[in-house]
Amino acid sequence: MHQFRYTAFMPINSDRILFQDDSFLAVHKLSGELVVKGAGKVDKLPLLDFLRKEYPGLRTLQRLDFETSGVVLFARTKEAFERAVPTHQREEDVPWTKTYRALVAGRVKSDQGEISTPLPARSGKGMLRQAQHRLVPALTRYRVLERFVNSTYVEAQIETGRHHQIRRHFAKIGHPLCADLVYGDRKFNRIFIQELHYKKFFLHAFSLEFIHPLTKEKTRIEAPMPKSFEVVLKKLRDATN
């Protein structure tokens, strides 16, 4: 059974509202927040439930991992939801460009590249368990922003949104996210955590670009880098220089 600690409602801080109009609401999700209810016990109201107190009828258009921060987009009306994600499509099939920033283990040699390893399909209610083993296309484009002694700061773009796509893809090329306890390198993670005193993996949904389904205008939304990430980057720069 889910256990939530419900607190008195206060409107979300205005500086976390990245974009809003009559159709959509984009919010800066913090690391350690759930977008929607999931399995297991949590002690904090999921972001969607919290926002619905101020924005009734809100519907989720995308999700981020618990530890991932950055842009999350919601639909404010049924029409906006259906126009953004038709009933015959899944979120990962919608032509959005999602740009993430991440810190990966090791020094990535190429200044830019593509990772196109197929990944397992998401499974949902009513789907056979075997569907988890069905591979589907996935493409991650990346470019190097900075190289440090034993790690690399990268920017990655995805148009698909497979489960743990960026984490899985970088692990496939031998550069898993730093401090990723699922796909990462145990020895590297232990040293990284000890030296930098940062226990979460570094992954931030920096921007989202899409064609607004109602206005037909190109829309770009950005979320500032978390201060904790900036602290880690400064320590790495100092150690490199």
Residues annotated as catalytic (active site), given as ranges = 65
- Output the CA–CA distances (angstroms, integers) from residue 15 to 35, 50, 115, 145, 226, in the order listed: 18, 16, 34, 26, 13
Please tell me the distance from the alpha carbon of residue 237 to that of residue 231, in angstroms, as a whole number.
Answer: 10
Residue 35, amino acid: V
Two structure tokens written together for 91: 């979120």
3-state helix, strand, coil in the chain (%, to 5): 25, 30, 50
Strands 17-20 and 24-29: antiparallel
Element (H, E) at 13: none
Two structure tokens written together for 78: 């049924």
**Residue 56 near residue 69 (C-beta atoms within 8 A):** no
Determine phi and psi for 187, rounding to 5 degrees. Answer: -65, -45
Residue 222, amino acid: E
**Residue 104 near residue 176 (C-beta atoms within 8 A):** yes
Two structure tokens written together for 51: 């926002």
